[in-house]
Structure 1
């Protein structure tokens, strides 16, 4: 059976579609008798309102688009949890899109969402290098169209919009300082996101902590890995280069990989090599030994981004200044690190 429409109800009663809509919304403009008849007919024939049509009429979908780079990354899962929690409180739904670290897919996703499917957008971009200019233009067009936008985590600084970022410099500094405070003097970095601006910020914090102890920065201790890299081979080169006493790994899954590779090569974690990873997921808690992590508080990042976006959507105040919210990180000490005597 085809779905009953407002137009069909209007034809049955010989009235305008607007009259049916007003009756179903209990408008005072429609007589009580006609309202009762229309409502009874709608219930009898199992009428369900077309939400999209109503949204288009109201120019408000009560829907937020959330675009993330990687659905398998626990940080982004937590961000989604936070966004949905806050959106539900405010009566909003969310459409979630994962770009799988593809710039082309991100462009296609933004073009789709630009069509009017959502009132606002929360985005962590995969754009890098020369792609920033392309994205700046596309995001600028979205903003010109009236789309409300919040960038989070991986942001483009030159885009005039609200932003929610993790203090990645502090995070890299905090992890490195902890290593140095626990007598790990030779600290390496394994970077699985080498072209991301957040990895550079974390390495900036790493360099800052080294400089405070008058330790010279050695670029050979920064190991960039990606999907095409043989991580076993890269770690072999690192471990053969010099004695390494600590490794900071810039995501959770790679941190677990690094720990397993290090252990299979006969090193004890943490007695020989201590390890700190990023993003406090379930994996890091239940591996053996459990892993010391930098928590980026993804759920709070999501809640904050949703609050900022919904506030801007509902206030519709173009003069409200854009905000950048900076979220502090926490170091969660577990078994993969320990003080050295």
Structure 2
């Protein structure tokens, strides 16, 4: 049975979604007759707002909804750690959910938590949402009084605060680092083509080549939307039909596949091929050789995102003013580079 939404109630009663939201949260800006009509209809249709929820204007639940795209990404675990520590220091709890890269799941989570359970959202956009270009569930959330702070994966189409790494310049710096190591044929491997972070890292790769007077060779670029790490070997294999001496990957798993294929093709790492990956997780520290990484400092990102949202909720920041903050990256040098 389809769950009744705010939009369903608004359409049935010929009122705005905003009016429905206000009625269900007892905000005294609508008539008593309208409020009772909406609340009775909501009960009849088994709409499940928290009727003991705190008033949007005057009180808060002191809970924050967190949405991450997947639970297998160590970087998001670092972000969650930063969020939890910062939230707890201000007396807030977090409710962590996982979209599993699904647009529909993301919509359901927003709908479920926007019933008074939480005061605002911290989230990284799912892959499917970015590919669909469908962001109304976010803009509606803000409109209904639930502020959002996006981290890592963000959208320019949503007016909200954003906490990101400078992916473009971080990748350009990685190219320059490899050039200083003596590399001249630097490959780029990414299974994140459709994501904002993937696009920015590819632009950074091209910028880094240009800054170092190196040509862009399409034969050295693997830029796809492949989500299944089991297919990475097949995806990357054509790269080794060409001469390369450096490689930048947008995630750890594809970097490890590239190193395995390099060894199979007679390369010694880092003597013949230097490899850098984004993220700085468990795989990088335990690979052989250990992987040099662009560290995105996930815990710092999470803490900054949480503080930004709490400042909004407690009126220390202008509710209608939005900023984008950058978390600095650095290169953690290990054994996969000279």
Q: Same fold (TM over 0.5)?
A: yes
Q: Please say which structure displays the higher CA radius of gyration.
A: 1
Query: Cα distance 1:327–1:148, how it changes in 2: closer, same or farther (>3 A)?
Result: same
Q: SS state of the match for residue 190, structure 1?
A: strand
Query: Cα distance 1:277–1:319, how it changes in 2: closer, same or farther (>3 A)?
Result: closer
Q: Deviations over 1:60-119 (max 9, x none)?
A: 211101111121111111100000000010111111111122222212222212222110
RMSD over equivalenced CA pairs, Å: 2.0
Indicate the residue corresponding to 1:227 in structure 2: 227
- 1:56 correspondence with 2:54: yes
Q: SS state of the match for residue 95, structure 1?
A: strand
- Aligned 1:108-187 pairs, distance under 5 A: 108-126=108-126, 127=128, 131-132=132-133, 134-135=134-135, 137-187=136-186
Count of aligned residue pairs for this structure pair? 284
Indicate the residue corresponding to 1:11 in structure 2: none
Indicate the residue corresponding to 1:72 in structure 2: 72
- 1:296 correspondence with 2:289: no
Contact 2:233 2:257 in 1 (8 A): no
> With structure 1 as the length reference, what TM-score do the two structures score?
0.78
Runs of 4 or more consecutive aligned structure 1 residues displaced over 3 Å after TM superposition: 52-59, 127-130, 227-230, 316-320
> With structure 2 as the length reference, what TM-score do the two structures score?
0.79
Query: How many angstroms apart in 1 are the aligned matches of 2:130 and 2:79?
Result: 25
Gaps of 5+ in 1: 1-51
Query: How many angstroms apart in 2 are the aligned matches of 1:144 and 1:190?
Result: 39
Indicate the residue corresponding to 1:287 in structure 2: 287
Query: How many angstroms apart in 2 are the aligned matches of 1:144 and 1:235?
Result: 44
Contact 2:240 2:265 in 1 (8 A): no
- Aligned 1:1-341 pairs, distance under 5 A: 55-56=53-54, 59-126=59-126, 127=128, 131-132=132-133, 134-135=134-135, 137-225=136-224, 226-227=226-227, 230-240=231-241, 242-315=242-315, 319=319, 321-338=321-338
Query: How many angstroms apart in 2 are the aligned matches of 1:117 and 1:246?
Result: 49
Contact 2:301 2:327 in 1 (8 A): yes
Task: State the 1:308 CA deviation.
Answer: 0.4
Gaps of 5+ in 2: 1-49
